[in-house]
Amino acid sequence: MIATIALVLAIILALNMAISPESNRDMFSWTIGLVALAIFFWLWSRREATAESDAGAAEAAEEAVQEAEDLMKRTIVRREDDANAEADDLTRINGIGAVFQTVLNEAGIRTYATLARASVDELEALIEASGRSRPGRLETWPQQAELAAKGDWDALARFADELQQ
């Protein structure tokens, strides 16, 4: 772009010198006009490039939102079989507080068994879609939930102790 502007400037200056070699004032006015024109075209091309990149970013953001919504819908649909089951206290899992329990419940994860069947990727997507930051030890939630679903509270306590160390 700059090379094109420089080339056009050189051509116009050469033509101006050929037409009126004695008139320095005309050459100066041509130069100023040309520089102004070059700046205008540069700004115009930047505006178009910015508009294109903004449109691309907006499209990518819309696709990401759609993918997250689709994942949420798939997760909720897969969990509907547990919707009628009595909800477990998911806060007994190390790393799940009241806020994350609410996020999981809204996604259809209400029982330890359902949480045990969830993949870490699904859980990360749910947390991300909720606008919360990723909690520590998220990758252990399904393991802990499996122990809780079996009612093996002693093993769950030992596991939680190991996590604390």
Report which of 44, 31, 42, 33 is spatially closest to residue 5, judged by C-alpha positions: 42
Cβ(95)–Cβ(136) below 8 Å? yes
DSSP per residue, 96-156: --HHHHHHHHHTT--SHHHHHHS-HHHHHHHHHHTTPPPPTTGGGHHHHHHHHHHT-HHHH
How far apart, in whole angstroms, are the C-alpha atoms of residue 118 and residue 43? 52
| 112-156 per-position pLDDT tens digit | 998 999 888 888 888 888 888 888 889 999 999 999 999 999 999
**How confident is the model at residue 133, as a pLDDT?**
87
> Residue 51: what residue type?
A
77 pLDDT above the threshold of 50 = no
Burial degree of 147 (CB within 10 A; 0-12, 13-18, 19+): buried
| 82-99 per-position pLDDT tens digit | 666 788 999 999 999 999
**pTM of the full structure:** 0.53
